[in-house]
């Protein structure tokens, strides 16, 4: 009998909602205009048989990163924190040193999708900050829209020693049924061996009121063909996913879509790859407390 592989939700968020901080939550997303904490997520993870999660920044502040780490300390099943530091700051290494000794600080993200310059990630100051991450053995989460993906490809190519994790497949235009040029650019990103990709965020790029399996499958297949099962990471994007689907419904879709793969390949996507990419050494157990 095979031992149960660890299941990890590689992408979720916590927040205390305020209009000033979370202005990106517009009227179409009103269902998530409230606080979301570990007590809300724990039952969802248990119901899906998921052992642990990686929580990802939303606010671009050092205070949020500190709070995320404190929350992770209080809940053993929060296996990792992808926080924020100012990668453009000349003091970026000092900021990283502040968090680097914490065992659950596993990565950094900047909300590049909100930057008007499509080549923002190639600015010298930003590249200097990205270069510093490898010194601390931290992953970098890439959050971009399709038109920003070519710059992300160039960024990853310039930093071959840095691990890059693409969030939400770079948000393809599923609702509009557009595959190109996104699919081509995704394949270019995947050709770089220092990259991986989160199978997450898809339902909110589809028709949130009535998405179907066949709407999502072509985009998931492009990601699988590009990265293979050893560089795809399951993520829920909870609570953002609630705009279009429950945590459980999205996890069920992913498991159903992965069913044709070999058991070891499914295990990799559903947890093993996240543990490797983010350097999670311990085995969190949701049953040991929430």
User: Which CATH number do you get for residue 193?
Assistant: 3.20.20.140
> Domain for residue 1, yes or no?
no
> What confidence score (pLDDT) does residue 1 get?
41
> Domain for residue 289, yes or no?
no
Q: What is the pTM of this model?
A: 0.95
> What confidence score (pLDDT) does residue 264 get?
97
Nearest to 184 by CA among 194, 176, 172: 172
Cβ–Cβ < 8 Å for 150, 182: no
> What confidence score (pLDDT) does residue 290 get?
46
Reported as a single tens digit per residue, the pLDDT across 138-150 is 999 999 999 999 9
> What confidence score (pLDDT) does residue 170 get?
98
> What confidence score (pLDDT) does residue 21 get?
86
- Provide block-wise average pLDDT over 10 residues at a time, the chain (290 residues): 80 93 89 95 97 97 97 97 98 96 97 96 97 97 98 98 98 97 98 98 96 96 98 98 97 97 98 96 58
> What confidence score (pLDDT) does residue 23 get?
86
Number of domains in the chain: 1
The domain in which residue 107 lies consists of 8-282
Nearest to 220 by CA among 275, 164, 260, 276: 260
> Domain for residue 290, yes or no?
no
> Domain for residue 215, yes or no?
yes
Give dist(CA 207, CA 99) in Å, integer.
39
> Domain for residue 287, yes or no?
no
> What confidence score (pLDDT) does residue 57 get?
97
Give dist(CA 11, CA 275) in Å, integer.
12
> Domain for residue 127, yes or no?
yes
> Domain for residue 3, yes or no?
no
> What confidence score (pLDDT) does residue 3 get?
62
> Domain for residue 43, yes or no?
yes
> What confidence score (pLDDT) does residue 5 get?
87
């Amino acid at each position: 009998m095979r031992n149960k592989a660890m299941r990890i939700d590689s992408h979720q968020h916590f927040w205390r909602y305020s209009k000033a901080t979370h202005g990106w939550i517009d009227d179409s997303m009103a269902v998530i205009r409230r606080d979301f904490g570990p007590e809300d997520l724990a039952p969802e993870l248990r119901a899906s048989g998921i052992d642990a999660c990686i929580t990802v920044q939303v606010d671009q502040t050092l205070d949020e990163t500190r709070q995320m780490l404190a929350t992770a300390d209080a809940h053993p099943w929060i296996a990792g924190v992808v926080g924020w530091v100012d990668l453009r700051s000349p003091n970026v290494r000092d900021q990283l040193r502040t968090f680097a000794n914490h065992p659950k600080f596993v990565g950094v993200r900047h909300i590049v999708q909100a930057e008007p310059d499509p080549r923002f990630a190639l600015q010298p100051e930003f590249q200097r900050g990205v270069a510093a991450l490898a010194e601390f053995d931290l992953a970098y989460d890439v959050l971009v829209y399709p038109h920003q993906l070519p710059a992300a490809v160039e960024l990853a190519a310039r930093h071959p020693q840095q691990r890059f994790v693409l969030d939400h497949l770079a948000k393809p235009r599923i609702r509009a049924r557009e595959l190109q040029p996104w699919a081509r650019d995704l394949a270019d990103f995947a050709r770089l061996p220092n990259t991986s990709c989160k199978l997450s965020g898809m339902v909110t790029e589809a028709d949130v009121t009535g998405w179907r399996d066949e709407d999502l499958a072509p985009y998931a297949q492009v990601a699988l063909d590009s990265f293979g099962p050893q560089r795809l990471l399951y993520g829920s994007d909870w609570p953002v996913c609630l705009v279009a689907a429950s945590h459980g419904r999205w996890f069920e879709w992913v498991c159903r879509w992965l069913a044709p793969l070999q058991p070891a390949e499914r295990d990799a996507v559903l947890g093993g790859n996240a543990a490797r990419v983010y350097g999670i050494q311990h085995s969190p157990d949701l049953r040991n407390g929430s």
